[in-house]
Chain A
Amino acid sequence: MDEAPGSERAAWARGLHARLLRDDPTATHELIAHYLDPLADWLERQYPRLGDPHLCTTAAEDALLALLRNLRSYEPARRSLWGYLRMSARGDLLNLLRAERRHGSRRAPLEAVELSPLAGNNEWARPYAPAQPTDDDTEEQSPAPVVTGMTPQEEQVLALMDAGERKTIAYALALGMAELPAAEQRRAVKRVKDRLQKRLMRGGGGR
């Protein structure tokens, strides 16, 4: 799925995005057919210890649907379509994981329900009833973004990490550190990458 600048794939992806912007009716299927499986597979490789691999499929679907609903959210000049979709899908997956954790923390154990042997469940062993609504309506709010407050440079670093970039100079250029000596570049780039990794881990994800 490499869409390196200047490659045929990159040109195809740009053309596809332009067709979507022109409301080309078959471009939606082409987008989904081309990216859905690779996107879901990539998420499964990034997060191999998830309890439910269907979450990766759902997140990949969410990312593609979000793009189709707001085509101008993707700027071809900033990154490849593949890189954009991976970033978006990772965010959607982490939001799904957060929602799952919030839902799980409110589940009551079955032991909290007492089933009376007499007709009608009108006596409770404990005052808590699992079906009671809570006052906390955070589940109804929009999911929080995965990593908030990222600088544009950090976003570029994350995009490079998503794209599997290994060269330090690429990161150094994104961070405006290309003038530093090589050893300092490596240390500075590693600091930024480690910091981003920690923020992602706190959000529930990891590489």
Chain B
Amino acid sequence: MSERLDHLARRVEDDRFFLASALADYARSERLDDVGLARFLGCAVGALTTLRLCRRPAGDAATFRAALAQIAAYGGVDRVALAAIVRRADALDGLRADTAATAHDGRGTLLAAREREGTESDEGRAAPGDEEGRRR
């Protein structure tokens, strides 16, 4: 894989246009390095550059699903894992947007999690296909 491609793939990690932004957000949230991320996706580390430079899926549900399937096939990665990554990144974007909105009026946001009685906590529940990717 070209060094230049790798460099550009890193450069666009803050650019929401590219899938690189979703991969970076997910990796940060799970504290994964490239090896861990590739393992979660079921691909070689070298395939991450290909994924990073694809366009981040967006749009309505059908368009989103079709884009995910196309990227997964193109990059040779697990479609379910890829979906989990993008959905996590989208959720994180939503939280950031909410935080930014409430910060403007001077009010902070407190988040609290509480275990439901008789069930696992949210933290303990694994996301689909998550087992391989966990660092722990």
Point out the residues of chain B lying under 8 angstroms from A64, CB to CB. Answer: 8
What's the least CB distance linking A144 to chain B, in Å? 24
Cα of A45 to Cα of B67 in the assembled complex, Å: 38
Contact B5 A26 (CB under 8 A): no
The bracket for how many chain B residues form the interface is 20 to 34
Instruction: Say whether B8 contacts A61, CB under 8 Å.
Output: yes
| Contact yes or no, A25 B5, CB < 8 A | no
A26 to B59, CA, bound (A): 15
Evaluate whether A68 and B17 lie within 8 angstroms (CB atoms) in the complex, with A25-B55, A32-B8 already known: yes
A19-34 contact mask (Cβ, 8 Å, vs B): 1 or 0: 0000111111100110
Chain B interface main SS type? helix
Please count how many residues in chain A sit with their CB below 8 Å of the partner chain's CB atoms.
Answer: 19
Q: Name B5's contact: one of A27, A32, A68 (CB within 8 Å).
A: A32
| Bound complex: CA A33 to CA B75 (Å) | 13
Instruction: Scan residues 9-64 of chain A and give those whose CB is less than 8 A from a CB of chain B.
Output: 23-29, 32-33, 36-37, 40, 57, 60-61, 64
Known: A23-B55, A61-B11, A69-B17. Contact between A29 and B4, CB under 8 A?
A: no
**How far, in whole Å, are A161 and B4 apart by their CA atoms in the complex?**
26
